[in-house]
Structure 1
């Protein structure tokens, strides 16, 4: 009684197909697959950043300062130019 058997899952699947129809389920599957692919591509593109442009590195923060930021003090910088 605690777990569902294969017959329970088949009945649930049959009811879902009857309610939504195969065309709508196909569209949902296509949209979900495209979203997963886009997410994976985004994660792949995000992981290939060079260390010089990484905003988390202190050297990149010191090198990217503008004239307006001259009044701020970077406490994590080892050397100021």
Structure 2
């Protein structure tokens, strides 16, 4: 018990080859991560079109409410009958 068998060694070898084999796959992966982070930061900084919050010292705007004119029941187009 506790020893490394052939399947364990083969699995470790495959993992090592995937991570370190070829043309620096880890460096390519890290470069892609860095590009993603840079584009994310650029996207956040380019968000200047968002509306800015209102000035709290400015007076509040009011909206005038107008009541609708009464509807004549004889001329109501929505009336059935």
Q: TM-score, normalised by structure 1?
A: 0.39
Which of the pair has more CA radius of gyration?
2
Q: TM-score, normalised by structure 2?
A: 0.39
Higher relative contact order by CA 8 Å / sep ≥ 6: 1 or 2?
1
